[in-house]
Amino acid sequence: MTYLAVEISTQPVPAPWNAQARLSFNGDVACVHVDPALSEPLQHRQIQQAARQLESMNPAQIGLRGNWHIEQQWTFAQAFSTPKKPDAIQWCDDDNQATLQARFEALAFTRSLVNETPEDLSPETLAQRAADWLMGLAPNQVSVKSWVGEALLEAGWVGIYNVGRGSDRPPVLLEVDVNPTGDPNAPVAAALVGKGITFDSGGYSIKSSEGMLDMKCDMGGAATVTGGLGLAMLQGLNKRVKLFLCCAENLISGHAYKLGDVLTYKNGTTVEIVNTDAEGRLVLADGLMAATESGAPLIINAATLTGAAVMAVGNQYNALFTMDEGLRETFLAYAREENELLWPLPLEPWHKEMCPSPFADTANSRPQKGGGAGGASNAAGFLSRFVREDGRGWVHLDLAAAYNGNANGQQPPGATGQGIRTIARALLAG
């Protein structure tokens, strides 16, 4: 295979190239130019811009060579790889190849799962693909069980069941137990919970056509926690971790759940449905209760949960919610160390009371567009009803940066995979 060689330089762009250009060419070699006077994040932004420019020229394969730092290589690869060319990069011939390849395997899995068509990725298929990938990484360390369709109702997982019952394709709660210790009685060190809505029509609170177009990405939380767990396994995870994926299609039919319904969860909490498009928190509630039952001292959930989070932090950052102040600072530090953009938003104990209902303990939202003011925090407050009372050890990630409907100057179209490195770091720590 012939590669286009790509080097990196801190020297100015030579004439006759424009001084503001990020790329120059010398024969069959492309050069990415970064300004050494800028901070590392701004240099990474320049690398992203160069990668997008180079990708637009449609080279079949590129090979990085020269003095690339590991994070520079990673930044370039994330920006250059697209759904049509997911694996078109050869790493530099240095000591970082194994690390980069492990990261890229997890990234490629996460992105490909999110980019899959909703027709091809049913709730059962999502669960199966996640389980198969993790079992393939460590067959002797992984065990799997699931509750499908009516079995969910029999087990008391009413959120996943009701959100998914409008579809002909049944909803699923998947539990994956990764136990590298070999001890069946080993404590669970961490539990991961992912929102796996494989397509979100909004239900009877139906979305607009343009708002529905990208809703194949609404299982981005499930893909992200699976990718993060897989990356941790590739990097030598030696602790027991459980993964819970809450998988369903939110569709309209004669069997679909309705506005005004009241759900009673396993912990006794009653929830009035005032918006069937606020379904993510309904399925996550089941997963969070299962994670809490595991006894794990650390619970991380991830979800493409609210448009309010996107309005607050944009689509470059993911939003972080937790009532555990120490864990907030630790998690933000992990994100900084892994060069992933994460920003904290407010979550107080009283946020659980911000969706009142005259018929139940709480409503699943406020009957206003986008859930009204503070919608992302109110959604997090709803979730806090289903973890330990003080929220200790629990982190909620609202994945505002999970997906781009179109390419931009820094990112390719489709799934980003942002968050998998931070989650892996949290699992490996301690």
What are the backbone angles phi and psi of residue 178, rounded to the nearest 5°?
Answer: -100, 115
Distance separating alpha carbons of residues 394 and 301, to the nearest angstrom? 8
Distance separating alpha carbons of residues 11 and 213, to the nearest angstrom? 43
From the candidates 281, 352, 385, 425, which is the catalytic residue?
A: 281
| Contact (Cβ atoms closer than 8 angstroms) between residue 250 and residue 204 | no
Annotated active-site residue 169? The verdict is no
Distance separating alpha carbons of residues 26 and 402, to the nearest angstrom? 36
**Measured CA distances, 227 to 39, 209, 299 (Å):** 29, 30, 16
Which amino acid appears at position 198 of this protein? T
3-state percent breakdown (helix, strand, coil) of the chain, nearest 5: 40, 20, 45
| Contact (Cβ atoms closer than 8 angstroms) between residue 322 and residue 392 | no
Distance separating alpha carbons of residues 316 and 300, to the nearest angstrom? 20
Q: Which residues contact 222 (CB under 8 A, 6 or more apart)?
A: 113, 126, 130, 194, 195, 196, 245, 246, 247
Distance separating alpha carbons of residues 244 and 301, to the nearest angstrom? 9
Tokens of 225: 């926690």
Q: What is the DSSP letter of 389?
A: T
Residue 135, SS3? helix
Q: What is the DSSP letter of 350?
A: G
Tokens of 227: 């990718």
Which amino acid appears at position 220 of this protein? G
How large is the greatest C-alpha to C-alpha distance in the chain, in angstroms? 72
Q: How many CB atoms lie within 10 A of CB 177?
A: 17
From the candidates 65, 207, 266, 392, which is the catalytic residue?
A: 207
Strand pairing category for 29-33 and 23-26: antiparallel
Annotated active-site residue 281? The verdict is yes
In whole angstroms, what separates CA 346 from the centre of its chain? 20
Catalytic residues: 207, 281
